[in-house]
Amino acid sequence: MIREGLLTKLHTHMASNYPDVLVTLQDEISVTKFLESKLDLLEDLPYVLLAKGTPLYIVEEMCLEVLEKSLGPSRFNYFCSLLQNNFETQYFDWLAAGVLPYEVMNLMELTHESFQKNGSVESEWEKDEFQLSLMEIIDGYLQEN
């Protein structure tokens, strides 16, 4: 019972914060297998907490925190923030048109190589040089489209 609830909540979290990962998983492996593998990281934690009398909602919150940390930083959220802060008009236009997730994933694909070279660690994401290189790519994409 708790496992199914956590599975649903993790999927919802990923749909909002990691849609790119879900799309990739649909192409490579099943989303369900991925989510199940993440839940396996919890081992017996939910059952130990419940046995100690911890309320179910607290157990779920604690487990989701562990699961969310295991996903690492969200490049999708990073791009949304970068767009909103530096390309505000375009961000809100895409948001209003309902295409923001798709356009962000297009940009993520275009900048994949930059992330592989320089942005594999979240601390690199905030460096001016890295952000400027991404903004140049984004600007070029916006000019073409």
The pLDDT of residue 93 is 97
pTM to 2 decimal places: 0.80
| CA–CA distance, 11 with 32 (Å, rounded to integer) | 9
Assign 44 to helix, strand or coil. Answer: coil
- 12: burial class by Cβ within 10 Å (0-12, 13-18, 19+)? exposed
pLDDT at 120 over 80: no
Q: Among the listed ranges 19-23, 94-98, 111-115, 141-145, which one has the minimum average pLDDT value?
A: 111-115
Regarding predicted confidence, which is higher, 122 or 111?
A: 111
Regarding predicted confidence, which is higher, 40 or 145?
A: 40
